[in-house]
């Protein structure tokens, strides 16, 4: 006996040494790769943010694309005459508004006489929009006064020519706030800002969830040179913007440190510059790196509790064995098609309840799918299996986890509600199934309505043992089918029938 104990002690000691050695190896690996993991986390976060920015910029670019396409095709549709007439042209302008989500569209001749989609006449000054009405180019512009509502606007000019000469313009007005709406789902730390710049690197307007006024006051590019991390990085940032290349840099202001990311808009010739709080990156990186830091702490605990952990292995092993045994029992008790308890398990569980709760109260409901043979014959056995699978899934959700829901035959199911004594509650709970069948349909493309006939018996009023209760519920089920199917019949409703029929 002493030798056996000594052997167990030695085995236990060897096991503890192995665990300690494994902990040392794991600690070395984690420490060795900690720096690499941080760099990897930093790259992952950077890629994630850039992907989000590209997605948001794509949404903005799509808005400009719709506008430019609508303007170009509308001008082309006017034909060589350059004018449809006021009624037809206002209809054209209305359609442009709908397509581009514009708040205003106008047809304007070179002398500044214009009318909008509602037919309202406007007279624009000769130098309106810095002489844009004398240009025959298609282009976007930003104005602080749209000369109609007094609002800031993104304006698209589409020239209309007649016999090769400039005749008029279709002018489309977009609310700059559409940029903020396009960015409504931006996940840039919930504290980003953006700047819209034209091809000449003029900051047109800005917005976002929070702006850094220190950086954005005055000229953005001039201020940016002051707050840039290095003069070289800012020069490189500007150079890439001029060449319409995606680029980034870092700026530091009193409002915090930001990473600026510029992405060109292909449709407008403009650039969107996002300012993302550097703290957002750091928080995300720390979140990604957290498992590695946590692993280090866990290694310390492993060193301290190596011996205790080894002892716990015996307990864990025992629990795992019990769990596996329980899983095997559950698998043996489970109907593989529906996931419900099978016939033998259903009967056993109900019998156990009856034996231990002779006065506990309950109700047994038998369910038989109506015309199931016809479903198999017309829709196929695979569809029939899907009907049973969906029925089992839905039946399980109708009742408590303590209630018994099982499949006892091909298209037969049994529900037993425990600890229910009030007849009114019994009938209400059993009636849930009929209500469920009223909307039960199966099929992905063609919906097939499925109904069921139900029979119920009350424990212990109608019967005090399983077999007798099953016979009573089956008699009630037979009556449901005889009376036209798709209904629920309780055994006590068979009063007035002959004794043979009740049995």
Measured at the CA of 338, the angle between CA 335 and CA 341, to 5 degrees, comes to: 40
Query: What average pLDDT score do residues 480-494 get?
Result: 93
> Given this model, what pLDDT does residue 499 score?
45
Hey, which residues does 143 pair with through a beta bridge?
Answer: 153
What is the C-alpha separation between 473 and 223, in angstroms, rounded?
Answer: 84
Residues 184 and 161 sit within 8 Å (Cβ to Cβ)? no
> Given this model, what pLDDT does residue 331 score?
75
| Local confidence band at 294 (pLDDT 50, 70, 90 cut-offs) | low
What is the C-alpha separation between 310 and 329, in angstroms, rounded?
Answer: 29
> Given this model, what pLDDT does residue 4 score?
45
pLDDT tens track for 463-480: 999 999 999 999 999 999
Q: Is the pLDDT of residue 388 over 90?
A: yes
Predicted structure pTM score: 0.52
Q: Is the pLDDT of residue 307 over 80?
A: no
Domains recognised in the chain with CATH numbers = 178-277 (3.30.450.20), 334-502 (3.30.70.270)
In 229-335, DSSP assigns E strands to 247-253, 256-264, 271-277
What is the C-alpha separation between 97 and 91, in angstroms, rounded?
Answer: 10
Dihedral (CA of 177, 197, 225, 55) sign: positive
> Given this model, what pLDDT does residue 69 score?
92
> Given this model, what pLDDT does residue 498 score?
44
- The residues, ordered by sequence, that sit 6+ positions from 73 with a Cβ below 8 Å of its Cβ are none
pLDDT tens track for 310-328: 556 544 655 555 576 666 6
What is the C-alpha separation between 275 and 244, in angstroms, rounded?
Answer: 18
What is the C-alpha separation between 501 and 503, in angstroms, rounded?
Answer: 5
> Given this model, what pLDDT does residue 149 score?
92
Residues 127 and 42 sit within 8 Å (Cβ to Cβ)? no
Specify the DSSP element, H or E, that contains 386: helix 381-398
> Given this model, what pLDDT does residue 318 score?
52
Percent of the chain with pLDDT over 90: 41
What is the C-alpha separation between 137 and 169, in angstroms, rounded?
Answer: 10
pLDDT tens track for 325-374: 666 666 788 999 999 999 999 999 999 999 999 988 999 999 999 999 99
Upstream peptide bond of 460 is cis (omega within 30 degrees of 0) = yes
What is the C-alpha separation between 318 and 326, in angstroms, rounded?
Answer: 12
Q: Is the pLDDT of residue 79 over 80?
A: no
pLDDT tens track for 100-154: 899 999 999 988 999 999 999 999 987 889 888 888 899 999 999 999 999 999 9
């Amino acid at each position: 006996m002493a030798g056996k104990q000594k052997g167990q002690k030695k085995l236990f000691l060897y096991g503890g040494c192995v665990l300690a050695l494994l902990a040392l190896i794991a600690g070395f690996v984690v420490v060795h790769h900690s720096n690499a993991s941080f760099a990897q986390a930093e790259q992952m976060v950077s890629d994630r943010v850039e992907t989000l920015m590209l997605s948001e910029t794509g949404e903005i670019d799509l808005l400009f694309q719709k506008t430019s396409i609508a303007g170009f095709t509308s001008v082309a549709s006017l034909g060589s005459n350059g004018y449809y007439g006021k009624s037809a042209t206002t209809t054209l302008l209305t359609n442009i508004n709908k397509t581009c989500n514009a708040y205003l569209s106008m047809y304007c001749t070179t002398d500044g006489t214009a009318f909008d989609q509602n037919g309202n006449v406007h007279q624009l000054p000769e130098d309106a929009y810095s002489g844009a009405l004398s240009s025959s180019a298609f282009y976007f512009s930003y104005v602080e006064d749209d000369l109609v509502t007094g609002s800031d606007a993104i304006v698209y000019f589409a020239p209309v020519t007649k016999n090769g000469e400039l005749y008029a313009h279709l002018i489309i007005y977009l609310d700059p706030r559409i940029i903020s709406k396009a960015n409504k789902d931006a996940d840039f730390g919930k504290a980003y800002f953006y700047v819209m710049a034209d091809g000449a690197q003029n900051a047109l307007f800005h917005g976002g969830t929070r702006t850094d006024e220190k950086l954005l006051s005055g000229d953005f590019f001039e201020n940016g040179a002051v707050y840039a991390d290095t003069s070289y990085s800012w020069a490189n940032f500007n150079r890439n913007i001029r060449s319409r290349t995606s680029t980034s840099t870092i700026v530091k202001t009193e409002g915090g440190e930001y990473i600026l990311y510029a992405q060109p808009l292909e449709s407008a010739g403009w650039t969107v510059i996002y300012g993302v709080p550097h703290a957002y990156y750091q928080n995300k990186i720390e979140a990604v790196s957290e498992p590695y830091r946590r692993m280090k702490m866990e290694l310390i605990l492993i060193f301290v509790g190596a011996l205790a952990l080894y002892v716990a292995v015996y307990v864990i092993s025992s629990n795992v064995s019990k769990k596996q045994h329980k899983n095997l029992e559950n698998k043996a008790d489970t109907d593989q098609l529906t996931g419900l308890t099978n016939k033998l398990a259903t009967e056993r569980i109900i019998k156990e309840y009856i034996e231990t709760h002779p006065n506990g109260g309950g109700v047994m409901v038998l369910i038989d799918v109506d015309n199931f043979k016809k479903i198999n014959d017309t829709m196929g056995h695979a569809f029939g299996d899907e009907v049973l699978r969906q029925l089992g899934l839905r039946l399980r959700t109708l009742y408590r986890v303590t209630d018994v829901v099982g499949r006892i035959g091909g298209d037969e199911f049994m529900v037993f509600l425990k600890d229910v004594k009030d007849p009114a509650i019994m009938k209400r709970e059993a009636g849930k199934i009929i209500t469920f069948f009223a909307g039960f349909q199966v099929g992905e493309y063609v919906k097939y309505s499925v109904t069921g006939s139900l029979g119920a018996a009350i424990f212990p009023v109608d019967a005090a043992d399983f077999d007798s209760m099953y016979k009573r519920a089956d008699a009630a089920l037979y009556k449901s089918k005889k009376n036209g199917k798709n209904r629920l019949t309780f055994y006590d409703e068979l009063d007035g029938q002959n004794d043979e029929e009740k049995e």
